[in-house]
Amino acid sequence: MNSSTLLEVSGISVSFDGFKAIDNLSFNIGPAEMRAIIGPNGAGKTTFMDIVTGKTKPDEGHVIWGEKNRSLLKLSESQIAREGIGRKFQRPTVFEDQTVRENLAMALKNKRGPFDVLFYKKTREGAAKIEALAEEIGLTDELPRIAGELSHGQKQWLEIGMLLAQDPRLLLVDEPAAGMTATERDHTTAILVEAAKTRAVVVVEHDMEFVRRLNCKVTVLHEGSVLAEGSLDHVTQNQDVIDVYLGR
Ligand code: ADP
Ligand code: MG
């Protein structure tokens, strides 16, 4: 694997009760790249994320990570998270009874281990980190608010902020725009585009306008393998892609 690759999956397959959800799938992600993954329902997009994060182990193939070409297949989910792979699920999982500031402080604490949550709330360095994260996700004005009172979109951004607090090298995001208004989707795009300047961000999304604004390479999955890859214009003109995905 060369130095322009952060994650390489090669020849992975996984079956559930005889059904091949992932079928000899291979592709690479670079170190500071935005990548969109699109494809019809059941194409294997979420299963791909399950495999990278260690939730599902493939029957065959390799998942190779980082400069040391480390296999992720031997690692547990928590070891993979500590390697610097963060994942955002569709439903936000913030601490509803805590403030935005406390949520971010807890996410920072988890990274640093020995420091108390109070370290981030009471020290200048801790407060500055929380402020910087809040700025990045556009929630500066919401820092004192109870997270449970935030809108759906704001909760999603807070969760992205909590993942960024862990400083992942790869961030996997499954359908971030679902249930968002157009304005919220724009803001989500901006957060992810900014995040991808310093890390790899892989976004599964159905909303083509959202994918267009990500302005990145697109991988189209179908029946568990890559159907097409390239710019959005390139893949949306591909006849196979039109037949199995866009034309329906
Ligand atoms: P996508 O996210 O692209 O819509 P998924 O990766 O969720 O697709 O699913 C791919 C296929 O694998 C689907 O047919 C789905 O029903 C099946 N599948 C996924 N996870 C499991 C599981 N844990 N057990 C059984 N079947 C599964
Ligand atoms: Mg899915």
State pLDDT tens for residues 190-246. 999 999 999 999 999 988 899 999 999 999 999 999 999 999 999 999 999 999 988
Q: pLDDT at position 138, please?
A: 97
State pLDDT tens for residues 144-178. 999 999 999 999 999 999 999 999 999 999 999 88
Which residue, 204, 148, 215, 212, is CA-closest to 178?
204
212 contacts 199 by C-beta, under 8 angstroms = no
Q: pLDDT at position 136, please?
A: 95
Out of 114-128, 129-143, 232-246, least confident range? 114-128
Q: pLDDT at position 115, please?
A: 52
Structure tokens at 55: 């939730």
- To test the pocket of ligand 1, the residue of 9, 14, 46 to mutate (highest count of ligand atoms within 8 Å of its CB) is 46
Q: pLDDT at position 3, please?
A: 67
Kindly list the structural domains of the chain, giving each domain's residue range(s) and its CATH number in brackets, ordered by start: 7-93+168-246 (3.40.50.300)
Q: Is residue 90's pLDDT more than 90?
A: no
Which residues are placed with Cβ below 5 angstroms of ligand 2, an ion?
Answer: 45-46
Report residue 95's pLDDT band, with 50, 70 and 90 as the boundaries.
very high
* Average confidence score pLDDT of the chain: 92
Report residue 39's pLDDT band, with 50, 70 and 90 as the boundaries.
very high
Ligand 1 contacts CB of residue 101 (under 6 A): no
Q: Around Cβ 24, how many Cβ atoms within 10 Å?
A: 14
Rounded Cα distance, 46 and 135, in Å: 30
Residue nearest to atom 23 of ligand 1 (CA): 16
Instruction: Annotate the chain with DSSP letters as a single string.
Output: --TT-SEEEEEEEEEETTEEEEEEEEEEE-TT-EEEEE--TTSSHHHHHHHHTTSS--SEEEEEETTTTEESTTS-HHHHHHTTEEEE-SS----TTSBHHHHHHHHHHHHHSSS-HHHHHHSHHHHHHHHHHHHHHT-GGGTTSBGGGS-HHHHHHHHHHHHHHT--SEEEEE-TTTT--HHHHHHHHHHHHHHTTTSEEEEE---HHHHHHH-SEEEEEETTEEEEEE-HHHHHT-HHHIIIIIT-
- To test the pocket of ligand 1, the residue of 47, 52, 202, 206 to mutate (highest count of ligand atoms within 8 Å of its CB) is 47
Report residue 247's pLDDT band, with 50, 70 and 90 as the boundaries.
confident
Mean pLDDT of 11-29: 97
Residue 173 alpha carbon to ligand 1 centre in Å: 17
